[in-house]
């Protein structure tokens, strides 16, 4: 069975023994980050089969993004897109190549989970061609029809409806809030 987000967040990835580089902090994105987010998403669009995003669209929903910031450079991003009162979707999750494997992707998902919970959301979902990473974060593969708000909002309008090849993954938003400690995140 996949490791839960809570237990994974409590332990985090093994520390790397590489030369020092500035710490990576998570923060809410602003309109000023739209260009950096677009660059990240575009650069990794093929690799992650990511939804194409336009500058104007990102600008409009910039407040829904969390970015990973290393000394003023955006090295990761993810959007929490509401699909209804109880469901939200993780979109445009990207960590730049040189910042990968250090738990930044996990931290972004934990942060979005906390934000979803604070907004009264009960379930997070994502649509992906590579579900293994999400399953490692505690998500489960689910039928698309379990996420009807997504199907009715986006899928029915998509030219690849019923043949997109994407997997739906979902995570019940934990009842316990994740908090950051010096060693990573742990359940409060
Ligand atoms: C997926 C992605 C966001 C992960 O970012 P990251 O910062 O490297 O993730 P983390 O460091 O938090 O990874 C956590 C664990 O997942 C593992 N992992 C990495 N890629 C994986 C994959 N494809 N499948 C399963 N596990 C994977 C890592 O090895 C790490 O394990 P460890 O803690 O035992 O070392 C990043 O690879 C990425 O931006 N990919 C391109 C875009 C994409 O695919 N987005 C998601 C699809 S919507």
DSSP, residue by residue, 4-52: PHHHHHHH-SPPP-------EEEEE--GGGHHHHHHHHHHTHHHHTPPP
**How crowded is the C-beta side of 171, counted as CA atoms within 13 Å?**
30
Q: Say if ligand 1 is within 6 A of residue 40 CB.
A: no
| DSSP 8-state code for residue 119 | T
| pLDDT attached to residue 111 | 97
* Alpha-carbon separation of residue 13 from 1, 79, 113, 179, 183 (angstroms): 18, 23, 18, 16, 10
In which domain, by residue range, is 128 found? 5-12+23-187
- Positive or negative, the Cα torsion across 158, 119, 113, 57? positive
User: What's the token pair of residue 140?
Assistant: 């489960």
Ligand 1 centroid vs 101 CA: distance in angstroms?
7
In a domain, 35, yes or no: yes
In a domain, 47, yes or no: yes
In a domain, 51, yes or no: yes
Q: Whose CA is nearest to atom 33 of ligand 1?
A: 13
Chain CA centroid to CA 99, Å: 15
d(CA 130, CA 151): 19
184: left (phi over 0), alpha (psi -120 to 50) or beta: left
| pLDDT attached to residue 183 | 46
Which of 101, 109, 137, 169 has most ligand 1 atoms within 8 Å of its beta carbon, as the pocket-test mutant?
101
In a domain, 28, yes or no: yes
In a domain, 18, yes or no: no
- CATH for 141: 3.40.630.30
Q: Whose CA is nearest to atom 27 of ligand 1?
A: 133
User: What's the token pair of residue 60?
Assistant: 């409009």
d(CA 143, CA 129): 14
In a domain, 169, yes or no: yes
Residues of the chain with pLDDT under 50: 1-3, 9-10, 15, 182-184, 188
Q: Whose CA is nearest to atom 30 of ligand 1?
A: 101
In a domain, 17, yes or no: no
| pLDDT attached to residue 2 | 41
Domain count, the chain: 1
| pLDDT attached to residue 80 | 98
| pLDDT attached to residue 12 | 54
3-state helix, strand, coil in the chain (%, to 5): 35, 30, 35
Q: pTM higher than 0.95 for the full model?
A: no
């Amino acid at each position: 069975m996949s490791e839960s987000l809570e237990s994974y967040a409590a332990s985090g990835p093994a520390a790397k023994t590489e030369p020092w580089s500035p710490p990576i902090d998570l923060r809410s994105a602003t309109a000023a980050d739209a260009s950096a987010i677009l660059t990240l998403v575009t650069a990794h669009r093929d690799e992650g089969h990511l939804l194409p995003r336009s500058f104007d669209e990102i600008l409009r929903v910039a407040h829904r993004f969390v970015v990973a910031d290393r000394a003023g450079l955006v090295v990761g991003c993810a959007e929490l897109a509401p699909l209804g009162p109880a469901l939200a979707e993780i979109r445009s999750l990207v960590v730049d190549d040189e910042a990968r494997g250090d738990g930044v992707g996990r931290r972004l998902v934990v942060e979005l989970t906390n934000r979803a919970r604070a907004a009264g959301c009960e379930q997070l979902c994502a649509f992906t061609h590579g579900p293994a990473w999400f399953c490692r974060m505690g998500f489960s593969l689910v039928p698309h029809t379990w996420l009807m708000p997504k199907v009715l909002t986006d899928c029915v309008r998509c030219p690849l409806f019923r043949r997109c090849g994407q997997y739906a993954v979902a995570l019940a938003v934990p009842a316990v809030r994740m908090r950051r400690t010096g060693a990573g995140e742990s359940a409060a």
